[in-house]
Structure 1
Amino acid sequence: MTNFNKTVVVGMSGGVDSSVAALLLQEQGFKVQGLFMHNWQNQPGETCTSEIDFKDASDVCDKLNIPLHKANFSGDYWDKVFEEFLSEHKKGRTPNPDVLCNREIKFKSFLDYAFKIGADHIATGHYAKICKDGEKTFLIRAKDTDKDQTYFLHEVTENEFSKCIFPLEDLSKNEVREIAYQKGFINYNKKDSVGICFVGERNLKDFLRRFISFSQGKIKDSKGTILGKHSGALLYTQGQRQGLNIGGIKNYSEMPWYVYDKNIQLNEVYVCQGEFNDLLMSSGLYMESM
């Protein structure tokens, strides 16, 4: 089957990965179109990184001579991703917004929009690989295991994967950057995005304070000794080491401290020393949404 009659809509983020994905698909003969998603409504006075990203995506699409569409999914993002993100934090859990965002936005809202404007397939710059066996579609790890993103895609359905292409499946990040450099893409050396999906790199505590109320509480060891204060128990994760600010306590060793538990109702965080401390170990776990 020839690619020349097939239209692929690529999720253009303004980053190097989606840019090279679009280039590779074009070289394979597909009719390529770009789609930039606007998924977060910034507050007045905030820096709008989305505008910068859109400019980078536009520059790449101009160089490739492909159209670039722009769609606003901020309502879907708020209702289907961000509210669940806040809800999980209120319960004292540590949600992964990238998993939610892939499930609800990139492979639902984006996919539906792309097919409405004539797509036969969608594509993204994820480091992942799709394998087909007869009528079955499987998600497997990318060649670059350091950048592999299959974990973040684990809640996307087989039906949605069957409509998707991952052009970077057999490339390393360094190879992607080199391709972008050779092509003259303005974003060839753009740093990888970090932080909350589509919200960007922010101080999590300050950001969450706009949506959730939390207050200082006590940090205790396993004997109940108060070692310090925390900013809000719901901000901490079991196994966390950074951000405790309780080092150098008299009569304690210099071993690093780790969060082994927390009590949201009492607003207390419990810590222990040593990465192999028995308090950090577990004999079981609860799973849901399998």
Structure 2
Amino acid sequence: MRVVAAMSGGVDSAVAAARVLDAGHEVVGVHLALSRSAATLRDSARGCCTIEDAGDARRVADRLGIPFYVWDLAERFERDVVDDFVAEYAAGRTPNPCLRCNESIKFAALLDRAVALGFDAVATGHYAQVVDGPDGRELHRAVDPAKDQSYVLGVLDAEQLARSFFPLGDTTKDGVRAEAAERGFAVARKPDSHDICFIPDGDTRGFLARRLGERPGELVDAVSGEVVGEHAGAHGFTVGQRRGLGIERSRLDGDPRYVVEVDAPANRVLVGTADLLGVDVVAGEHLRWCGPAPAGEVSVGAQLRAHGTEVPATARVAGEGVEVRLAERVRGVAPGQSVVLYDGSRVVGSATITGTGRAA
């Protein structure tokens, strides 16, 4: 097969490309330029797509003896991921940009271009497994639970899975680094990227303030309706947040306060005690199935955050939406996040959360 290996410049994508080559495929390395003004050097473990990263990817490709190209997808990344991120926060929701990137960039724009150029598949350094099942290829969790990335791949459909390779799904992170060192890759000890790649300083509130400006509003007690403080913009808050609320100590009774709702139209942030955060009913839309859509009510595992714990649940699909009932209450679930459904280790599909509640 002819395979495009997406090479970020990190250790994971380097070993993934090498493994696909070892498997006998014809491999071309591709680095995605996703920033319109990429930094020259990486100055922390945050962020990605610097010129340094592109150079690291090229050196790995040279060592493997494979062709290497840089594809400029900065304009589409800005539109589909960054602008979407800002718009979601402005609407009072909390998006996961990694899922949007996988859906719109790595397994749409990249895969579509690769297929148009005559390639058969795309390989990435994600920690997940694709196995052949009775109804086609299935997406499963990685063997290393600490690195499992099946949650952020839950937006892939069956057709995309049929053209995807995740060569690292059967290996631990330590094993990947050891293999990279054995292969002589200079990136063997390179730190992992984390947080949001287009906010390299990690200051999400500051990033949103620069994009959306200040929009002063009220902090309101969710039970009494009393105004307990002010904020510079509802877009700077997310459900479950505790730090940075700016509530005067004289307004508190000793119990910590959390954001329990972001009312974007009214530019209000509702706060309350921890007991108001727990929900066990989740509604979702923008359904994506990694195989056949479930029929009727099915028992599943539900994961609500990239590094969250799977919770036993039932799911019922109704038209364009899904209702997920959790076996236990979970705190800090925000509209805009994704719920990914599992059957054992297999990813069933995902949905974008539109609302939460409590069962009667």
- TM bin (shorter chain): 0.7 to 0.9
Distance 2:41 2:211 in 1: 16
Alpha-carbon distance between aligned partners in 1 of 2:202 and 2:73, rounded to the nearest angstrom: 21
- Deviation of 1:38 after TM superposition, in Å, equals 0.9
Q: How many equivalent pairs are there?
A: 281
Describe the superposition over 1:187-211 as per-residue Cα deviations: whole angstroms up to 9, x where unpaired.
2222222233456454222222333
Give, in angstroms, the shift of residue 286 of structure 1. Answer: 2.5
Give 1:208's aligned amino acid.
Answer: L
RMSD: 2.6
Could you list the per-position Cα deviations for residues 238-279 of structure 1 after superposition, in whole angstroms to 9, with x for gaps in the alignment? 1122333548557622x43321112223322222233xx1x1
* Equivalent residue number for residue 281 of structure 2: 284
* Paired position in structure 2 for 1:3: none
1:206 counterpart SS class: helix
Query: How much has 1:61 moved relative to structure 2?
Result: 1.2
- Output aligned runs, 1:31-180, within 5 Å: 31-42=26-37, 49-134=49-134, 136-180=136-180
Moved more, 161-170 or 226-235: 226-235
Instruction: Work out the CA distance in 1 between the residues paired with 2:219 and 2:41.
Output: 33
1:167 is displaced (CA, Å) by 0.2
Relative to structure 1, the CA distance from residue 45 to residue 128 in structure 2 (aligned partners, 3 Å threshold; closer, same or farther) is: closer
User: How far apart are the structure 2 equivalents of 1:158 and 1:72?
Assistant: 27
Question: Residue 41 of structure 2 contacts residue 50 of structure 2 at CA under 8 Å; is this kept in 1?
Answer: no
Q: Which amino acid aligns with 2:71?
A: A
Distance 1:46 1:269 in 2: 38
CA contact 2:88–2:94 (8 Å) conserved in 1: yes
What one-letter code is carried by the residue in structure 2 that aligns with 1:161?
L
> What 5-or-longer segments of structure 2 have no aligned partner?
43-47, 288-360
Q: Deviations over 1:102-142 (max 9, x none)?
A: 11110111112223444222100011111212551211111
For the structure 1 residues 106 and 198, does the alpha-carbon distance in structure 2 shift closer, same or farther, using more than 3 Å as the test? farther
- Give the share of equivalent positions with the same residue, in percent: 36
Offset of residue 64 of structure 1: 1.5
Q: TM-score, normalised by structure 2?
A: 0.71
Cα 1:139/1:249, change in 2 over 3 Å? farther
Shift of 1:86: 2.4
Greater percentage in helix:
1
Q: Per residue, is there more strand in 1 or in 2?
A: 2
Residues in 1 aligned to 2:253 and 2:87: alpha-carbon distance in whole angstroms? 37
Structure 1 spans left out of the alignment, 5+ residues:
1-5
User: Residue 45 of structure 1: CA displacement?
Assistant: 11
**Corresponding letter in the other structure for 2:205:** K
Q: CA deviation at 1:34?
A: 0.5
SS across alignment from 1:288: strand
